[in-house]
Amino acid sequence: VTPRTDATQEVAWLSDAQLAEWRSLVALIMTLPPALDAQLKRDAGLNSFEYHVLAALSEAPERWLLMSDLAALAQGSPSRLSHAVGRLEQAGWVVRRSCPGAGRRIEAHLTDEGLRKIEDESPGHVREARRLVVDALTPEQLAALGEAARIIVDAIEPRCTEHLPPPDR
Amino acid sequence: VTPRTDATQEVAWLSDAQLAEWRSLVALIMTLPPALDAQLKRDAGLNSFEYHVLAALSEAPERWLLMSDLAALAQGSPSRLSHAVGRLEQAGWVVRRSCPGAGRRIEAHLTDEGLRKIEDESPGHVREARRLVVDALTPEQLAALGEAARIIVDAIEPRCTEHLPPPDR
DNA sequence: AAAGATTGATGCTTCAATCTTT
DNA sequence: AAAGATTGAAGCATCAATCTTT
């Protein structure tokens, strides 16, 4: 596509170099998530989001977390989390209980079976993360990737990055 | 989660530094695609994949492309492409015709309306790409991101990267 | 028979509406 | 009334099965 001189909202087109990098990034976000999903689905019967929910719970104090905090940690909407936790609860890996306090707060807890499940499945997932990313890059390349990722995530949702290392630009 | 010394398949855990970078990347692939999707859906009524299909066609000779080539360019499965082109054809932006040759080859063509559509919508998409990525990073950071992305994509599907600049490692 | 493409079913995500608790 | 969470409907992706053409 070639740029249109639209008087409505002038937008600078991308240079050839910028376009090439942008396309590489687009290729990444089109292929990496499906690749990770496929490994998890095949080996663990989980999708990426469910895996991250279990992982986040496994690191919480006593494995309890407010649904709203869990949603932020797993980077999903309340609705998406509700559906996912429903499935995880069905499987016996998570339970919910209402918790006294303001609003209609509800806590989710990772059961012993859930802990065993995530412990069983993480080696396979880490192996895939190594194969496709961590071991495929030099430490410098990996660090640069991480830094760029933090800046972009920060540009998307300035407040939802507290749990990540700050982008130092 | 902590590593389990599973005799089955030794997997080296990630170092703290590796884990931090990995998590930043995971945050990126959890947030950037939804952000781009949201802009396209809101402003253009298209999802990312449909946009890429139109964009790929707009750059093809005479705006004709074999379905199989289009699938590779847009990085989607044949099935996904079929469904998407079905919707785009409904909207009048694409037409299909069978093309003589081996197998059951079918070509897709971007109509004039389709060309107008992608031309109308790309400025808004480029603006978002600039805001979230291109203008948020220094040229060096963008180049490093692109390079890492190419290496990872190459690790995922070694043959489907012909249309990207080669990763020079 | 094999490659190319499509179809239909299933499952997950999103969106809007709703319910509950303070 | 407002925040937190859930629900159901609609849309898209994936998978397996199918159809078509050489």
Q: Is A25 on the interface with B (CB under 8 A)?
A: yes
For residue A141, the chain B residues in CB contact (below 8 A) are 144, 147-148, 151
Contact A22 B134 (CB under 8 A): yes
Q: How confident is the model at residue B166 (pLDDT cuts 50, 70, 90)?
A: low
Judge: A151–B161 Cβ closer than 8 Å, yes or no: no
The confidence band for B53, taking pLDDT boundaries of 50, 70 and 90, is very high
> Which pLDDT belongs to residue B101?
74
Query: What is the crossing angle of helices B48-58 and A16-44, to 10°?
Result: 140
A38 in contact with chain B, both atoms CB, cutoff 8 A: no
Closest CA to A80 of B70, B34, B125: B34
**Residue A64 pLDDT greater than 60, yes or no:** yes
| pTM listed for this prediction | 0.91
Q: Check: CB of residue A11 under 8 Å from CB of residue B123.
A: yes
Alpha-carbon B93 to chain mean position: 20
pLDDT recorded at residue B159: 57
Res A128: pLDDT = 97
For A99-132, b where at least 16 C-beta lie within 10 A, e where not — what string? eeeeeeeebbbbbeebbebbbebbbbbbbbbbeb
Q: Which nucleotide is nearest to A48 (CA to C1')?
A: C12
Residue type, A129: A
| pLDDT category of residue B68 using cuts at 50, 70 and 90 | very high
Mean pLDDT of A86-111: 92
Burial of B86 by CB count in 10 Å (0-12 exposed, 13-18 middle, 19+ buried)?
A: exposed
Q: For position A130, what pLDDT does the model report?
A: 97
D21 C1' to A82 CA distance, Å: 48
Q: How confident is the model at residue A24, as a pLDDT? A: 98
Q: What percent of chain B has pLDDT over 90?
A: 82
Segment B120-149 mean pLDDT: 98
